[in-house]
Amino acid sequence: MNAQTHIKEAGSKTREMSYAEAIRDAMAIALERDPTVVLMGEDIGTYGGAFQVTGDLVDRFGKDRVMDTPISELGGAGVAVGAALTGLKPIYEFQFSDFAALAMEQIVNQAAKLRYMLGGEAAVPVVFRMPSGSGTGAAAQHSQSFEAWFGHVPGLKVVQPSTPAEAKGMLLAALEDPDPVIVFEHKLLYKMKGEVPEGYYTTPIGKAAVVRVGKDVTIVASAIMVHRALEAASKLAAEGIEAEVIDLRTVRPLDRETIIASVKKTGKLLCVYEGVRTLGVGAEISALVAESEAFDYLDAPIQRLGGAEAPIPYNPDLERAAVPQSPDIESVARKLAKGEV
């Protein structure tokens, strides 16, 4: 993937860092550049965050800028909304995206709607960071993927960066955005390493990236599924099947153009996402293609691989079986490319 394609004003140098470090780097830059930026969340100070994403930021910026909040997700999110409404730019970290279920009222009924309800007379430039997804053995209440919920809410923007460089650039873009942005960070990506441009840059919200060019089948994937799709694609390449892989990056607003252009080229679409299959992100991607001019180019039924219709189980084998894995993607993409579906 060519990071340069999605960078606005990056320094020329890059540095290898993990996804978590890249997010921390973005927050440090933001805290330095803009005195109105504050970080809020449970145990983001001394503890460094449940996933060590804020790390040592409290030592560098102090407790007034990196605020531990009580275990009060509804209130904490609401304080962030009120602060954003009146002049701060808060980044509120949920320890797990699952706990956002406690704060839907402030995120959806307040943050997403305030500008509209007030006829444009108010703005809520808040960022909610949400560690998300399964694979950590933490079971049903710590492994969900809620991006479809927020993707259904006008007034929000929803991003799912899949690489360190994207994670940094999209978080900085989220902070520049005058409206509320939800950032889903996949927990299994936190340790993933990658080259990340130094300094300030933004990765645009609302633009998908073609991360592998191909002609036989289009795979639209998000977050960790991008990597599983790329793995599948390189296996398929050995068989002479060229899959085009699109990193969705933004769930709301969706990048129709990139997806449609690819499907017009390949005639075949596979949507891969970790959230529950029914009414997950892949449903919308399928629907937008099926109603678009790409419909006439479709050579086969649109395929979806999504999470099982079950809560995430604790047993590790069951847990793996509950979400798409690389061999699943490979197998469906192969059948699709070969005209077997």
Partner 1 sequence: MARDAQENLPFAIRHFSPEALKEALRKMHLIRLFEEGAEESYMRGLIHGTMHLSIGQEASAVATCMELTDADKITSTHRGHGHCIAKGADVGRMFAEFFGKETGYCHGRGGSMHIADVKTGNLGANGIVGGGLPIAVGAGLTAKRLGRDDVTVCFFGDGANNEGAFHEALNMASIWKLPVIFVCENNKYGMSTAAAYATAVPNISDRAAAYSMPGVTVDGNDFSAVAEALHIAIARARAGEGPSLVENLTYRWRGHSKSDRNRYRTKDEIEDWMSRDPIQRFRAELIAHGVLDEAGAEAVEAAAKDAVAQGIEFAKAGPAPAITDVTKFVHAEAAA
Ligand X SMILES: Cc1ncc(C[n+]2csc(CCOP(=O)(O)OP(=O)(O)O)c2C)c(N)n1
Residue 239 falls in the annotated catalytic set: no
Q: How far apart are CA 52 and CA 66, in angstroms?
A: 13
Out of 28, 123, 138, 139, the residue judged to bind its own copies by CB under 8 A: 139
3-state SS, the chain, equals CCHHHHCCCCCCCEEEEEHHHHHHHHHHHHHHHCCCEEEEECCCCCCCCCCCCCCCHHHHHCCCCEEECCCCHHHHHHHHHHHHHHCCEEEEECCCHHHHHHCHHHHHHHHHHHHHHCCCCCCCCCEEEEEECCCCCCCCCCCCCCHHHHHCCCCCEEECCCCHHHHHHHHHHHHHCCCCEEEEEEHHHCCCEEEEECCCCCCCCCCCEEEECCCCEEEEECCHHHHHHHHHHHHHHHCCCCEEEEECCEEECCCHHHHHHHHHHHCCEEEEEEEECCCCHHHHHHHHHHCCHHHHHCCCCCEEEEECCCCCCCCHHHHHHCCCCHHHHHHHHHHHHCCCC
Min dist. Cβ of residue 125 to ligand X (A): 25
Q: How many CB atoms lie within 10 A of CB 217?
A: 29
Interaction residues for ligand X, span 85-124 (CB under 6 A)? 95, 99, 102
- Report if residue 71 touches ligand X, rule: CB under 6 A: yes
Interaction residues for its own copies, span 218-257 (CB under 8 A)? 252, 254
Min dist. Cβ of residue 43 to ligand X (A): 6
Min dist. Cβ of residue 330 to partner 1 (A): 18
Out of 4, 16, 62, 178, the residue judged to bind partner 1 by CB under 8 A: 178
Residue reference for tokens 């645009």: 204
Min dist. Cβ of residue 212 to partner 1 (A): 29
Residue 73 falls in the annotated catalytic set: yes
Residue 197 in tokens: 């441009």
Out of 104, 138, 237, 261, the residue judged to bind its own copies by CB under 8 A: 104
- The one catalytic residue in 21, 42, 73, 147 is 73
Residue 70 touches which of its own copies, partner 1, ligand X, none (Cβ within 5-8 Å per kind): partner 1
Out of 17, 26, 57, 81, the residue judged to bind partner 1 by CB under 8 A: 81
Out of 73, 147, 247, 274, the residue judged to bind ligand X by CB under 6 A: 73
Q: How far apart are CA 274 and CA 304, in angstroms?
A: 11
Of 186, 334, 195, 168, nearest to 273 by C-alpha is 186
- Report if residue 116 touches partner 1, rule: CB under 8 A: yes
Of 8, 332, 320, nearest to 143 by C-alpha is 320
- Report if residue 213 touches ligand X, rule: CB under 6 A: no
Q: Tell me whether residue 172 or residue 233 sits nearer to partner 1 (CB atom).
A: 172
Min dist. Cβ of residue 29 to ligand X (A): 27
- Report if residue 278 touches partner 1, rule: CB under 8 A: no
- Report if residue 140 touches its own copies, rule: CB under 8 A: yes
Min dist. Cβ of residue 147 to its own copies (A): 9
Kindly write out the interface string for residues 33-62 of this chain, putting x where it contacts ligand X by CB under 6 A and - elsewhere. ---------x--------------------
Interaction residues for partner 1, span 307-336 (CB under 8 A)? 308-311, 313-318, 321-322
The residues that are catalytic are 73, 142
Residues that bind its own copies (CB under 8 A): 74, 98-99, 101-102, 104-105, 108-109, 112-113, 116-117, 139-141, 148-149, 151-155, 252, 254, 275-276, 278-284, 286-287, 289-293, 295-296, 298, 300-304, 308-311, 313
Residues that bind ligand X (CB under 6 A): 42, 71, 73, 95, 99, 102
